[in-house]
Amino acid sequence: MSSMKFPPDKKCHIEILNWDKYQRPLRGEANRRSWIAMSVDLYSDQDFLDMKSVERESWVVLLLHAGKVGAMMKLSANNVRAMGQLHHSPDLNTLVNQGFIRCRSATDRQTDKTDNIRPKKGGKPTKAVSRFEEFYHNYPRKEGRKNADKAWQKNSAMLDSMADKLIADCKNRVLNHNSWQEKQYIPLPSTYLNQARWEDEIMPIAKQAKRISFPPENDSEAWSKLAKEYGVNLRGMNFNQARAAILESKK
The reported pLDDT for the residue numbered 132 is: 93
Beta bridge partners of 103: 14
**All structural domains of the chain with their residue ranges:** 12-105, 132-199, 220-250
Summarize pLDDT for 104-122 with one digit per residue, the tens. 664 444 444 444 444 555 5
The reported pLDDT for the residue numbered 1 is: 38
C-alpha distances (whole Å) from 21 to each of 26, 43, 204 are 14, 12, 25
The reported pLDDT for the residue numbered 136 is: 94
Summarize pLDDT for 139-178 with one digit per residue, the tens. 999 999 999 999 999 988 899 988 999 999 999 998 888 8
Relative to beta strand 36-38, strand 23-25 is antiparallel
* Separation CA 31–CA 35 (nearest Å): 8
Asked whether 69 and 37 are in contact (CB, 8 A), the reply is no
The reported pLDDT for the residue numbered 117 is: 44
The reported pLDDT for the residue numbered 24 is: 63
Q: Which residues of the chain have pLDDT under 70?
A: 1-9, 19-21, 23-37, 104-128, 206-210, 250-251
Phi, psi at residue 101, to the nearest 5°?
A: -135, 165
In which element (H, E) is residue 73 found? Answer: strand 72-75
* Separation CA 223–CA 3 (nearest Å): 81
The reported pLDDT for the residue numbered 11 is: 78
Summarize pLDDT for 63-72 with one digit per residue, the tens. 888 777 777 7
* Separation CA 178–CA 186 (nearest Å): 10
The reported pLDDT for the residue numbered 31 is: 45
